[in-house]
């Protein structure tokens, strides 16, 4: 093969996980599947409210998908390096390549090896940048899948045996938050992203029957080989997501997208859900994430583009803000926010501690049980995403460490403390789980009710939510996480506050009427 000029893929540099050690060279005949993410054919305008029909979704994919010339160039690159094109998605701007580790290393100018972490977990990793030939360099946004280290964790917390403040069913939480009655999410589809675990249909039947609720229609979709595989700790996340969203909006269809816990799997799951013209989710709920600076720039850029697609197509994406307070679990003494919650195209969901009396809220404060090692809501100011226009008048401060005017996290909140958590059923056992993982499907369920009442998808919700009257939220003014303190209006613990569902719908109906001139 003649000498070809090679260029580094921007933001593709990798280092081993902290404390991980190389334990051996990769087997040259190991088969690897890589996702090549390409640039947009045409740039997209700012996301708007409302959703797109089946035909309009396909039209969006054509207009803002990958150019035919870029797809052809990548396929030519693949064939030249002995790789197989096993998938081609112009709308998602993706080409899936398959081949041996030997061929992949030569094609992308990197060295792969096996690593072992301090906990004994193993992964296939690489160091340094990825390079590609100059013939495709300008078109490539990311090359994902060569390194398969876990990138995210599920943001759920099981209640400890010592903490027993109380627990609620999702329907009780909905009642206390004044969710609307007379709607059940009919006509809506909630997509749920899962990076591990699974659900047991018999458990779901038992759970919903116990609540006196008709079990929602649930479908599993495999992405990158991910499967519904119950039997591990991540089942708590999967069951929590389905049971909370399904209890609040039992009339909605629920589609669970299972993918591996890698940057490739996470990106591809979001892209699959956003561009799913079969199930057409109007809401996507994500309860997984990791510190925003733990991702490579290329992976974060690719996921941001997929999330922007979702916003552009009128899909509301709710994302857990994290369960480790203002450090996001990083032990460097600095402030961190969680990604993808820090992405400006999503509705970031923080957590509260909910105390009730006689079925009504008597107290609601920031969830912070760090002193007892029971977690706290994530929240803070992004160092990587600039403040979006919808937060321009919300009073978001600059990052106190870097002075960067970044995107504030979270946008909204809800009950998350596991000691005032959600009664759910997991692997044949009734248990109580909390965490901001519960708040993302809580808000997803609420948005399904909103969409049904509005008669159309709310879509990219953030601009409208930052304009509705304060009465649409319960302003949380007490507590911290711990670097940021709660206060009047928006704060970096609970955002705008927890929902007052009926008032929120009334405000959104008013906005819709004003926009249409009704």
Give me the catalytic one of 70, 194, 224, 237: 237
Kindly tell me if the per-residue pLDDT of 478 is higher than 90.
yes
Position 56 scores a pLDDT of 75
Q: Does position 60 have pLDDT exceeding 70, yes or no? A: yes
Average pLDDT over every residue of 108-125: 96
Q: How, if at all, do strands 189-194 and 283-286 pair?
A: parallel
Place of tokens 């081993």: 16
The pTM (predicted TM-score) of the whole model is: 0.96
- Residue 465 has a pLDDT of 97
Q: Residue-wise over 315-340: b if at least 16 C-beta within 10 A, else e?
A: bbbbbbbbbbbbbbbeeeeebbbbbb
* Mean pLDDT score across all residues of the chain: 94
Distance (Å) of CA 16 to CA 21, 22, 28, 34: 8, 8, 20, 19
Using 50, 70 and 90 to split pLDDT, how confident is the model at 321?
very high
When computed from its CA atoms, the radius of gyration of the chain, rounded to whole angstroms, is 22
- Its sign, for the CA torsion 70, 75, 77, 78, is positive
Overall residue count recorded for the chain in this entry: 518
Q: Confidence band (pLDDT; 50, 70, 90) for 164?
A: low
Residue 166 in this model has a pLDDT that exceeds 50: yes
Mean pLDDT on 26-37? 97
Which tens digits make up the pLDDT trace of 403-448?
Answer: 999 999 999 999 999 999 999 999 999 999 999 999 999 999 999 9
pLDDT at 517: 40
Beta carbons within 8 Å of 2's beta carbon, 6+ residues apart: none
The second-level CATH assignment, the architecture, of 153-516 is 3-Layer(aba) Sandwich (3.40)
- Read off the tokens for 414: 């809800």
Of 92 and 517, the structure prediction assigns the larger pLDDT to 92
Q: Number of C-alpha atoms within 13 angstroms, CB side, residue 214?
A: 10
Can 364 be counted among the known catalytic residues? no
User: Which listed residue (343, 437, 491, 498) is catalytic?
Assistant: 437
Query: Of 309, 330, 349, 315, whose CA–CA distance to 441 is shortest?
Result: 349
- The percent of residues in the chain predicted with pLDDT above 90, rounded, is 90
Residue 294: pLDDT over 50: yes
Nearest-CA neighbor of 415 among 496, 359, 499, 325?
499
- Tell me, what's the pLDDT at 160? 74
CB 345 within 8 A of CB 366: no
- Predicted confidence (pLDDT) at residue 329 exceeds the cutoff of 70: yes
**What is the mean pLDDT of the segment spanning 305-330?**
97
**What digits encode the pLDDT tens for the residues 240-292?**
999 999 999 999 999 999 999 999 999 999 999 999 999 999 999 999 999 99
Point out the catalytic residue in the list 147, 194, 241, 411. Answer: 241
pLDDT at 43: 72
Specify whether 134 is catalytic: no
Structure confidence by residue, pLDDT tens digits, 449-476: 999 999 999 999 999 999 999 999 999 9
Domain spans in the chain, listed from the N-terminal domain onward: 6-144, 153-516
Whether 294 is catalytic is no
* Strand, helix or coil for residue 336: coil
pLDDT at 516 over 50: no
Residue 193: pLDDT band (50, 70, 90) is: very high
> What are 192's strand-pairing partners?
256, 285
pLDDT digits (tens, 9 = 90+) for 136-161: 999 999 999 999 999 999 999 998 76
Query: Strand 498-499 to strand 473-474: parallel, antiparallel, or no bridges (unpaired)?
Result: antiparallel
Query: Please, are residues 503 and 178 in contact by the beta-carbon 8 Å criterion?
Result: yes
pLDDT digits (tens, 9 = 90+) for 32-57: 999 999 999 877 666 656 665 666 77
């Amino acid at each position: 093969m003649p000498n070809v000029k090679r260029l580094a893929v921007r933001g593709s540099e990798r280092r081993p996980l902290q404390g991980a050690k190389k334990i051996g060279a990769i087997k040259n005949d190991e088969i690897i599947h890589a996702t090549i993410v390409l640039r947009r054919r045409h740039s997209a305008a700012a996301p708007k409210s409302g959703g797109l029909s089946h035909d309009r979704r396909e039209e969006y994919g054509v207009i803002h998908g990958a150019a035919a010339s870029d797809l052809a160039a990548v396929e030519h690159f693949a064939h030249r390096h002995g790789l197989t094109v096993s998938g081609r998605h112009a709308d998602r701007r993706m080409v899936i390549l398959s081949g041996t580790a030997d061929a992949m290393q030569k094609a992308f100018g990197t060295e792969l090896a096996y690593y072992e972490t301090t906990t004994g977990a193993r992964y296939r990793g690489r160091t340094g940048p990825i390079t590609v030939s100059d013939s495709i360099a300008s078109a490539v946004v990311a090359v994902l899948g060569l390194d398969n280290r876990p990138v995210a964790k599920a943001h759920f917390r099981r209640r400890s045996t010592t903490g027993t403040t109380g627990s609620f069913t999702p329907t009780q939480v909905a009642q206390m938050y004044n969710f609307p009655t007379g709607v059940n999410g009919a006509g809506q589809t909630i997509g749920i992203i899962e990076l591990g675990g699974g659900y047991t249909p018999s458990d779901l039947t038992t759970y919903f029957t116990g609540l006196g609720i008709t079990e929602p229609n649930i479908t599993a979709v495999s992405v990158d080989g991910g499967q519904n595989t119950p039997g591990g700790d991540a089942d708590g996340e999967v069951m929590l997501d389905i049971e909370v969203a399904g209890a609040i909006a039992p009339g909605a269809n629920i589609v669970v997208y299972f993918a591996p816990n890698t940057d490739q799997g996470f990106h591809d799951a979001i892209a699959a859900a956003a561009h799913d013209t079969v199930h057409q989710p109007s809401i996507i709920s994500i309860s997984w994430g990791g510190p925003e600076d733990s991702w490579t720039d290329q992976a974060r850029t690719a996921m941001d583009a997929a999330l922007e697609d979702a916003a552009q197509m009128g899909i509301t994406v709710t994302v857990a803000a994290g369960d480790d307070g203002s450090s996001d679990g990083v032990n460097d003494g600095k402030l961190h926010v969680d990604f993808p919650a820090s992405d400006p195209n999503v509705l970031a969901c923080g957590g509260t501690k909910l105390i009730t009396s006689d079925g009504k809220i008597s107290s609601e404060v920031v969830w912070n049980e760090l002193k007892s090692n029971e977690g706290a809501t994530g929240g803070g100011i992004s160092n990587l995403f600039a403040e979006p226009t919808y937060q321009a008048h919300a009073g978001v401060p600059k990052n106190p460490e870097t002075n960067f005017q970044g995107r504030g996290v979270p946008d909204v909140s809800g009950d998350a403390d596991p000691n005032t958590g959600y009664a759910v059923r997991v692997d044949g056992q009734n248990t109580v789980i909390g965490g901001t993982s519960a708040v993302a499907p809580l808000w997803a369920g609420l948005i399904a009710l909103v969409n049904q009442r509005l008669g159309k998808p709310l879509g990219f919700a953030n601009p409208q939510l930052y304009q509705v009257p304060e009465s649409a939220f319960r302003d949380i003014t007490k507590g911290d996480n711990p670097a940021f303190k709660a206060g009047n209006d928006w704060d970096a613990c609970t955002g705008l506050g927890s929902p007052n569902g009926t008032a929120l719908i009334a405000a959104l109906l008013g906005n819709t009427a004003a926009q249409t001139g009704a």
